Each structure stands twice: as C-alpha cells, then as structure tokens.
Amino acid sequence: MADCIFCKLAHGEIPTTFVYEDDAVVAFRDMHPKAPVHVLIVPKTHVETIEALAAHENGQVIWGALLLAIPKVAAALGVSASGYRLINNFGRDGGQSVDHIHIHLLGGRNLGDRMV
Ligand code: DGP
C-alpha cells in the first residue's frame, strides 16, 4: 500500500536491516525499543487489521507464516533459550499505531509477569 510505512520497510523502499526474511515475512528492529531485543515481525502483504486478516482470502497463510517465523526470528536474535514475549496491539484501545498487522517480539532481559 502506497503510504504504509511497514510496506515501504518490508519491500525495501525505505532501507532497513532485516533480522529475518522469508518469502512472506520480514522482521526488523522497532525504532522505539522497549527491551534489549525488540523486533517487529511483519507480513509482506498489506493487511490493516486482524478483522481484515480473518476476511482475507489468504488470511490463514499470512498468519501462519507470521507464527512460523517466530522461532526463526528468536533464534536469529539469540533468545530461543532465554525466552521472549510476543505482543499484538489491535485497534485504538489495543494501542495499534501502524495499520499493518505485526507481532512484537521482546526479550534480552527478564520481562517480569506484568501483562499491562
Ligand atoms: P503498534 O503500536 O503495535 O502499532 O507498534 C508499532 C511500532 O512500530 C512502534 O513500536 C514503533 C514502530 N515503528 C513505527 N514506525 C517505524 C519505522 O519507521 N521503523 C521502525 N523500525 N519501527 C517503526
């Protein structure tokens, strides 16, 4: 999508370093990291919301590709053994600020047990 920042990053229109890439997914470091490791796992396909994903003809494939990328991203970042947290922000109250679905992966320190 023309003015989507994550589309531009995922498709190389804005240079960034991918910590992981496959046919369907990229991962890059969050510009406002909340932990020593904080990356965004992003589908190359533009899908704005989880509702749009559920209605998308390839929604299962897109979501599956995101989920299956998680252990590969964790391994690339060296946090498979130490552990990590995944966060999804959906919609206004969920804190979604970029309308292109993504998964946050955070680690590199003990993140404690607070959910919010
Ligand atoms: P969310 O609130 O779940 O929509 O998170 C969006 C995240 O994306 C937020 O933590 C900041 C990050 N972000 C926004 N724009 C850019 C960018 O241009 N580059 C990078 N690396 N991260 C970005």
| CA atoms lying within 13 Å on the CB side of residue 24 | 15
Residue 42 CA to residue 60 CA, distance in Å, equals: 15
Residue 34: per-residue pLDDT = 97
Asked if the model's pLDDT at residue 79 lies above 90, the reply is yes
Residue 61 CA to residue 77 CA, distance in Å, equals: 24
Would you say the CB of residue 28 lies under 6 angstroms from ligand 1?
Answer: yes
How far apart are the CA of 78 and the centre of ligand 1, in A? 22
Rounded (to 5) percent helix, strand, coil in the chain = 30, 20, 50
Whole-model pTM: value is: 0.98
Active site residue 11: no
Mean pLDDT of 82-96: 97
Q: For 9, which DSSP code?
A: H
Per-domain residue ranges for the chain? 1-38
pLDDT in tens, 16-74: 999 999 999 999 999 999 999 999 999 999 999 999 999 999 999 999 999 999 999 99
